[in-house]
Structure 1
Amino acid sequence: MSRQDHAPHRQITGIAVPPVIWALHFILVYAALSAACAPRALLDFPALHLLVGLASLIALGAIAVLMVRVRAAPGLGRAARWGGLIFAAAIIMDVVPMLLLTTCNGG
């Protein structure tokens, strides 16, 4: 198969995968926050920050790798790149409040 045979698959993957990565990241971040703020405090805040930071780096790295693969795809490649950038920004916006939290009371 030539590279052109894989272009539609790359475009669909480039459009569909970033929102899935963001959704999984969102669920993990808020599940970790719930674990840290549970009455039994299953996580302390340094562990929460480490977990959220690592999950964010992995999610952003996965989107970056995907965007490099979609870069050369014609057609919907541009939409896939913009979608990847939008969901990368959404991941960053999910993680910023988590990294600023020091207590469960919002302070």
Structure 2
Amino acid sequence: MQIPASLKPGLTGAALGAIATMIIGFSSGGWYTTSSAEKLATTRSAVAVVDALVPVCVAQSKLDPDGAAKITAMTGMVTNYEKRDFVMKAGWATTSGSESANSDVASACADVLVKARQS
């Protein structure tokens, strides 16, 4: 098939425009591939779960009869790992229906409890 010479610039421009549109769309236009959209959804849902469970953890610490003493002891700990493990061992980051504590919830809960104690 012979393409007329007058159409070649238009077809070349259309092809380059389509390529440029895809590059701009995926790099800064907010377009996502299926795998990157799934990764984004997984990350956002994990953050939402932690945000939803931190108040439960704080409430469980307040229900603990030795909670105030435990939080005071936790404020003296140096690393975040110690604080996270302390909250996990206290059982504050274990929700009903689960057998083990959520480490992300424990880390966030420890941060909230220490900041609340310091202020």
Interval containing the TM-score (normalised by the shorter chain): 0.3 to 0.5
So what's the TM-score if we normalise by structure 1? 0.38
More helix by share: 1
> Higher RCO, 1 or 2 (CA under 8 Å, sep at least 6)?
1
